[in-house]
Amino acid sequence: MAPLAKKGPALSKGPTIPKGVDVVTFGCRLNTYESEVMRREAESAGLGALEGGAIIFNTCAVTGEAVRQAKQSIRKARRENPAARIIVTGCAAQTEPQNFVAMDEVDLVLGNEEKLKAHSYRALPDFGVNDTEKARVNDIFSVRETAGHMVDAIEGRARAFVQVQNGCDHRCTFCIIPYGRGNSRSVPMGAVVEQVERLSGNGYAEIVLTGVDMTSFGADLPGSPKLGKLVKTILKQVPGVKRLRLSSIDSIEADDDLLDAIATEPRLMPHLHLSLQAGDDMILKRMKRRHNRDQSIRFCEDLRKLRPGIVFGADIIAGFPTETDAMFEKSLEIVEECGLTHLHV
């Protein structure tokens, strides 16, 4: 899943003491969506009523730089807001909780499952009194379902994100995300449609479907519906959606209904972000990816025939262990051969 190098609302400046709940978001679109759920749950738990308010950091673990930036922001927040409660959660908190527990600036560390529940924020006002109580991070692989949380808006965004799936069953050798998100689990179709309808009714013209391994959607649901069926159902049942966009997908998992929707549904935006990662077959094998170079090129060619004018972005990893200059050239070449217009490197 491609990360977004963006954070949430700006922290307060100078001596101003924040009131309410401020959420600072790092990483992906799924984190952005979940931050709205967290804000609502924390406020319902009374966290915003504390003197000095609260700042929640929703972290990313996809790169070491993302973790470093989160820690830097936490230290800055404490300097500028000495009375605020600081809570750290998200993927980095899930995968390395003790590193955040060790920070004096942090009052509480929550795992990715705990962060979405109001009761996780209700141990007030005495949470964080010692390191044992400071971390509440359960085994993410024990989580079997993903609830369809409802939000009314995405703060500061002109488009709305809707979670359709969480976690990943694959174990690519470069990727830490399954250890932060757990195994793949889908939001029931009815809950997704209801959330899209709610956001569309609140004035959002564009909805972005998001997840960790979104094209694996439905495998754990009754009848095993696929992503293409979900897309068609949304467009049929929510006519108020003017634009429906997909976040990062795994091309090898794209189903026939999804391809048909791309070809025939003008409200489905003609842009796909692909999880390619490399252009050399040996590197792809060592990454434990499930596609090869030719399949990626053919996928882009086939979709251009179905939807002339469609554009592609992709994730590319440079310098993977054992990668030679000749192997790297293959990754450079696939940018041209797939006609990629945006890269996340």
pLDDT band at 127 (very low <50, low <70, confident <90, very high): low
- 216 occurs within a structural domain: yes
* Degrees, nearest 5: CA angle 259-265-266: 125
- 104 occurs within a structural domain: yes
Which pLDDT value is given to residue 126? 53
Looking up residue 75, the CATH number of its domain turns out to be 3.40.50.12160
Domain that holds residue 297: 274-345
58-72, 114-128, 255-269: least confident range: 114-128
Q: Percent of the chain having pLDDT more than 70?
A: 90
Q: Which of 296, 274, 200 minimizes the C-alpha distance to 241?
A: 200
- 11 occurs within a structural domain: no
Looking up residue 193, the CATH number of its domain turns out to be 3.30.750.210
Looking up residue 341, the CATH number of its domain turns out to be 3.30.750.200
Answer with the one of 138, 171, 205 that is the final residue of a domain. 138
The H helix count followed by the E strand count for the chain is: 12, 13
Which pLDDT value is given to residue 70? 96
- 14 occurs within a structural domain: no
Counted domains in the chain? 3
- Within this chain, do residues 93 and 124 fall inside the same structural domain, yes or no? yes
Neighbours of 188 (CB within 10 A): 17
Which pLDDT value is given to residue 29? 85
pLDDT band at 144 (very low <50, low <70, confident <90, very high): confident
Chain segment 241-263, per-residue pLDDT in tens: 999 999 899 999 999 999 999 99
Instruction: State the Cα–Cα distance between residues 147 and 257, nearest whole angstrom.
Output: 25
- Within this chain, do residues 154 and 105 fall inside the same structural domain, yes or no? no
- Within this chain, do residues 116 and 152 fall inside the same structural domain, yes or no? no
- Within this chain, do residues 119 and 177 fall inside the same structural domain, yes or no? no
- 281 occurs within a structural domain: yes
- 8 occurs within a structural domain: no
Chain segment 271-282, per-residue pLDDT in tens: 999 999 999 999
Answer with the one of 76, 104, 138 that is the final residue of a domain. 138
Which pLDDT value is given to residue 125? 47
Chain segment 160-192, per-residue pLDDT in tens: 999 999 999 999 999 999 999 999 999 999 999
Mean pLDDT to the nearest integer, 96-119: 93
Using the predicted structure, report yes or no on whether residue 17 has a pLDDT greater than 60.
Answer: no
Using the predicted structure, report yes or no on whether residue 2 has a pLDDT greater than 50.
Answer: no
Per the structure block, which two tokens stand in for 177?
């995300």
Mean pLDDT to the nearest integer, 130-159: 73
pLDDT band at 215 (very low <50, low <70, confident <90, very high): very high
Using the predicted structure, report yes or no on whether residue 56 has a pLDDT greater than 90.
Answer: yes
- Within this chain, do residues 203 and 127 fall inside the same structural domain, yes or no? no
pLDDT band at 47 (very low <50, low <70, confident <90, very high): confident
- Within this chain, do residues 39 and 146 fall inside the same structural domain, yes or no? no
Whether the pTM exceeds 0.85: the reply is no
- Within this chain, do residues 345 and 241 fall inside the same structural domain, yes or no? no
- Within this chain, do residues 301 and 324 fall inside the same structural domain, yes or no? yes
- 206-210/311-316 β-pairing: unpaired
Which pLDDT value is given to residue 142? 81
**Residue 231 belongs to what H/E stretch?**
helix 227-237
- Within this chain, do residues 283 and 261 fall inside the same structural domain, yes or no? no
Answer with the one of 269, 287, 312 that is the final residue of a domain. 269
- Within this chain, do residues 174 and 264 fall inside the same structural domain, yes or no? yes
Neighbours of 116 (CB within 10 A): 18
- 196 occurs within a structural domain: yes
Mean pLDDT to the nearest integer, 39-64: 90
- 6 occurs within a structural domain: no
- Within this chain, do residues 180 and 294 fall inside the same structural domain, yes or no? no
Q: Which of 232, 221, 230 minimizes the C-alpha distance to 162?
A: 230
- Within this chain, do residues 134 and 145 fall inside the same structural domain, yes or no? no
Which pLDDT value is given to residue 7? 40
Mean pLDDT to the nearest integer, 127-150: 70
